[in-house]
Chain A
């Protein structure tokens, strides 16, 4: 017991000094047009990352245009009058920047990582394409094919990804996390340039964007430079999305995916609040620690009990995105070991959940989970990209970057009783969706519904 206390004490020291330096190093400014800039100093290397985050992702989309946020992200590299097709990427290549973008359910984010003296190039390009994108028919035709290839690569030919997609589509009826980020293939087939134009006009405006800069820079200088490029951009009012609260679920939902595969696979999703939607803000932290008890490393329960002790699974995991904008899912996934069925594995997961509901997590186990969270917070500082991304997500989902400074403290404060409470409240049948993969050996066994055959 004494050893735990010393370790915990040491880790608390690490955590508090980290929070102190985070808070001291991070600064923000909001321009008159509504655009926010957050700058975090990290002087370890002469580099800087610049990210522009837009508050739009697949969760803002509705049926018929799913995938539009992501296709627009691809088209954002296609050019403006000032930087016509191809010159955006070559301008950045010229200065040795690494640039790319990513689309999530809650955000679309563009970034450039570069040597610190080149920051202005990034601002010049990002401020230009925020309002001046040219959406041309030719570029669109070929880029849409690229996105369809991306969908085939990531989802259609990946059996486990198909299960993930079906899990969300089954768990959520009205919550916008229902549909996949990359969009349904049928919607991609029918997407038009007009859809993209409307989307761009609606969401790409400085008052719907956050600029995050992390690196070997001085906040004052960055604010001045950002002001030059972004503060003069004209903003448009952003029409808020209507609330799309989930229709109450009253019992377990089940979905089966039959696909060409060699290995079965299982996912469970329980409806849970995120930090942005929780009624009690300790609950999401308790859910995070709960995820750590189950899957925080090789000493955690799923690995220790299901992989090693019972040898029921080849692998098993659990996860929870505390920073989602809307209510989300607490996930489990598992690949059964040879000679064990998906049904056995499903029961074993319920046994673990039951244990968490019946018994308190012991002090040593809890201390270990917290130690890993705090250490990870330190390790995360090794990457400016990771540091910027946390700030970007927190700003974009409406929590504010300051939340990152509380994270370690809040995790540290979670008690065994709280873990039991959230397990009892949320890991219950009426919030559960089960998705499983039944592997098929060959194409002749693949049967699609008659209605779907007709539409082909």
Chain B
């Protein structure tokens, strides 16, 4: 026992000295589903995630449909009702989850890797995923829950602001709609809508499988085959229309009886795979992505004590995602904090990062690279990302090289081309008009 343990340690030490990225294996099932797999033999557990192009961007006029469909998956399948499904997973310590964002959905399973325990978890997972029965009672109940969840967002000024932000940036584009939907669209959804959504999007042509855990390649292939063959073939959905390149900049104030105002500033940003991605990522690290050392943090929080958190990021999706800058401050300071932030962005666009700032950002991103892939859950996330957005398989291996080559000029050229102050929307939620 002890000898075996030491043997494992030595092997790992050899691998680790090279700071290698995890070895990604990939294959296509007979019906075409792509699987990405990383063996992680150290722990007796397994993570599986299926990613579908079935985010709330696919809701069309029925905002909230994707979310509702996903939340109904584990309420019935074949003869199993919600109780029986929950018991099948939890008897063996497995965890099922389904989540949705604007651009994609993810259905996942975490289980122990012992064959007996895993078999029960996996067969339940596949049933729930491919043959949901969408019971009427649960449909009605989850619609009511969706209405409550929407009300819950309405009592949070931060959520009100975020919704107003997406509306202002995306106009009538599908990305403008909240994932939870609206009260009236939830009311309109029928059980047939849910069934149709599942039928159309939960198909092999629209799926990517990611697997990480304590099994070998052969077993992983067997699992992916089992999942893939249970999906109907279907077809890949046609792309969503591009968002309008430039909506007029807006300055929106929404009163709310809160102590803090939530400020969102931003505009249309970039898509996944954009050639400017690494430059914008690194530049934004200096501007508002790098935590305590970022310019926004220094100007807004450290120097002026205006906000607990202040940040900026690009959110690349299949289509152009937004550039977002956010903060929260006492209501009477909202304009001041927004102005300081905008000035900081303006200075950054005109001056670029200083040489020291760029070096610091590069050292931080490159030096911190091993932290991005130090656990199964994060590796699973990267596999789904690479598969879903069709990024090169060596994405992780080349990540730090892509960062290392960036210059100050790259940043100033790209930021002045991609970010325009007079395109930015500004949303403030909180306080009354007079403040």
**Is B374's CB under 8 angstroms from A149's CB?**
no
**Is B371's CB under 8 angstroms from A47's CB?**
yes
Q: Distance in Å from the Cβ of A350 to the closest Cβ of chain B?
A: 23
Which residues of B140-163 are within 8 A (CB) of A?
141, 144-145, 147-149, 151-152, 154-157
**Is B112's CB under 8 angstroms from A378's CB?**
yes
The interface stretch among A152-160, A266-274, A282-290, A428-436 is A152-160
Chain B window 95-133, contacts with chain A (Cβ cutoff 8 Å), 1 for yes, 0 for no: 100000000000000111010110000000000000000
Give the bracket for the number of chain A residues in contact with chain B.
35 or more
B249 at the interface (CB under 8 A from A): no
Given contact pairs A94-B360, A376-B93, A382-B375, enumerate 12 new A-B contacts (beta carbons under 8 Å).
A10-B114, A10-B116, A44-B375, A46-B370, A96-B365, A97-B367, A118-B367, A338-B144, A374-B93, A378-B112, A382-B377, A439-B155
**Is A145's CB under 8 angstroms from B306's CB?**
yes
Closest B residue to A74 by beta carbon equals B308
**Cβ 8 A contact of A96, one of B42, B154, B369:** B369
**Is A382's CB under 8 angstroms from B114's CB?**
no
Bound together, the chains give a CA A76 to CA B16 distance in angstroms of 33
**Cβ 8 A contact of B157, one of A150, A157, A338:** A157
Chain A window 80-123, contacts with chain B (Cβ cutoff 8 Å), 1 for yes, 0 for no: 00000010011001111110000000000000011100100000
**Is A115's CB under 8 angstroms from B308's CB?**
no
**Is A379's CB under 8 angstroms from B45's CB?**
yes
Chain B residues within 8 Å of A46, by CB: 16-17, 19, 370
B279 at the interface (CB under 8 A from A): no
Known interface pairs A7-B92, A45-B16, A376-B93. Does A152 touch B260 (Cβ–Cβ under 8 Å)?
yes
**Cβ 8 A contact of B305, one of A43, A86, A114, A144:** A144
**Is A14's CB under 8 angstroms from B90's CB?**
no
A197 at the interface (CB under 8 A from B): no
Known interface pairs A262-B151, A382-B375. Does A45 touch B91 (Cβ–Cβ under 8 Å)?
no
Number of residue pairs spanning A and B whose beta carbons lie under 8 angstroms apart: 217
* B interface, over-half SS: helix
Chain A residues within 8 Å of B330, by CB: 148-149, 152
Bound together, the chains give a CA A126 to CA B29 distance in angstroms of 52
**Cβ 8 A contact of B374, one of A14, A24, A45, A378:** A45
Q: Distance in Å from the Cβ of B393 to the closest Cβ of chain A?
A: 20
Bound together, the chains give a CA A90 to CA B138 distance in angstroms of 52
Bound together, the chains give a CA A446 to CA B91 distance in angstroms of 48
B-to-A contact residues, CB < 8 Å: 5, 9, 12-13, 16-17, 19, 40, 42-45, 74, 82-83, 86-87, 89-95, 110-112, 114, 116-117, 138, 141, 144-145, 147-149, 151-152, 154-157, 257-260, 290-293, 301-309, 328-330, 360, 363-371, 373-377, 430
Chain A residues within 8 Å of B145, by CB: 314, 337
Q: Distance in Å from the Cβ of A19 to the closest Cβ of chain B?
A: 13
Chain B residues within 8 Å of A382, by CB: 43, 45, 375-377
Chain A residues within 8 Å of B12, by CB: 43-44, 216
The interface stretch among A249-257, A365-373, A412-420 is A365-373
Q: Distance in Å from the Cβ of B256 to the closest Cβ of chain A?
A: 8
A303 at the interface (CB under 8 A from B): yes
A308 at the interface (CB under 8 A from B): yes
